[in-house]
Structure 1
């Protein structure tokens, strides 16, 4: 099942495959999260996230008959805003080594957490850093800022792909139970371009409950300007699988 034309989910993982570009794309890994939580907030979490993310990458690659040529990291690869911490630096180096062993090209689009990430990329010849990226009909950006007017995308019929928001959906049971699950937000906007919002690849970072939070309070400036209620919500979960749920406007109605 395609999310938007030419783009599909990979193996019920919070990631996409862009066929035309022969590229896997993931967003918001937030490496070093546990170390930052311990250092700044006194919250000690088991250091499992990097191992879990690396295993997800391995599972994705095993689902292909032939490895994709490139991978795009759509921002917030690291978690600390300021100088790269020891925990981040170690995990970034391990991640980049794995990616260089498995992809011909590694394209990193910098997010708002990726200050000083360049230092960790030194010595990795396949890695390229970008603020935003245009490849054919695709415009890839982290999503934390909007430096082009929406008319730019409409005029060119672009397929805009972002992260940053960490979209999730809140689901409620008849007996008062509540669960938050990761989701994609995808579809064609009234302005004429396609928009796809990726969930966080991080196994720890919280998600924005897009059927609960008012549009005006969303993080991404892009999402504050488009008709998001008309976009499709696609659930992605390793146990429940990948499936289209409904238009966002319909899922807002299930909130108590």
Structure 2
């Protein structure tokens, strides 16, 4: 299957399939509780999905975190999620959701036609799809390309006077192992999908000392330094190792050393 990112939209095209991650519908309710009064952007995400889908695409797969609240749910989620997916069936024949760590009791919100897949992921031909907060199944890892969400990947830029900004990005690289005791076969490469909800900001992949999220990206299975960073407009910023910057010092708290999981 040919994998191509949509131009300017955090969505991945795989033949007749559109793949997105991290909708976090209802995040505005969480932000309101923090004093930020924002209108819902759910309809904007709905339109962006339609904009990203070429005419021949008839299947939508969301790889986790449809809803935002965990544990529990908000009135906004109950009000918006059912209609959001019901209306998407006007455009897509099939909709799958791979369960993410925020998708507790997601069955309550969804039309019966939506297929809910396990958190360990699914495999479609040579592509494995998983949210990324837990280890994938052995079947999912026996693929050519593993596609993950969960991290909300972004790249941080900093100017000469210390001002900084982040932009969502695609993070793509290769596995540096071919097999482990846990997995007889490993994928050749991985792709981390940017969060579809732009209200979330992002977690920089290029800041020294900042850990990535999930067991796969915190293991020794990936060649992270030689992985490439791409902006949503397709600009290739090059290798992660060439884009690393220092994080800001926090003099009040300095965490101890962290170890990475090893599976050899």
TM value normalised by structure 2: 0.82
Change (3 A) 1:71 1:213: farther
| Residue in structure 2 matched with residue 144 of structure 1 by the alignment | 133
1:233 aligns with 2:229: yes
Asked if 1:166 corresponds to 2:152, the answer is yes
Aligned-pair CA distance for 1:157: 4.5
Gaps of 5+ in 1: none
Q: Which residue of 1 aligns with 2:99?
A: 110
CA shift, 1:59, in A, is 2.0
Aligned match of 2:20? 26
- CA shift at 1:247, angstroms? 0.8
Query: Larger % of helix: which?
Result: 1
**Quick one: higher RCO (CA 8 Å, sep 6+), 1 or 2?**
1
How many angstroms apart in 2 are the aligned matches of 1:253 and 1:35?
Answer: 33
**Larger proportion of strand:** 1
Q: Among residues 206, 211, 228, which one is paired with 1:211 in the alignment?
A: 206
Match of 2:43 among 40, 51, 69: 51
Q: Distance in 1 between the 2:239 and 2:63 partners?
A: 25
Alpha-carbon offset, residue 152 of structure 1: 7.7
Instruction: Sort the Cα spacing of 1:255 and 1:44 in 2 relative to 1 into closer, same or farther, 3 A.
Output: closer
Residue in structure 1 matched with residue 215 of structure 2 by the alignment: 221
Q: Does 1:244 align with 2:236?
A: yes
Aligned length: 235
Residue 198 of structure 2: SS of its match in structure 1?
coil
- Aligned partner of residue 106 in structure 1, secondary structure: strand
| TM-score, structure 1 as length reference | 0.84
The answer to which of 161-170 and 190-199 deviates more is 190-199
CA distance in 2, matches of 1:28, 1:213: 24
Contact 1:172 1:254 in 2 (8 A): no
Q: CA deviation at 1:52?
A: 2.2
* In 2: Cα distance, 1:152 partner to 1:17 partner: 19
Q: Which residue of 1 aligns with 2:163?
A: 177
Task: Report the counterpart of residue 128 of structure 1 in structure 2.
Answer: 115
For 1:70 and 1:152, the matched residues in 2 are separated by 19
Question: Which structure 2 segments of 5+ residues have no match?
Answer: 179-187, 249-264
Q: Displacement, 1:201?
A: 0.5
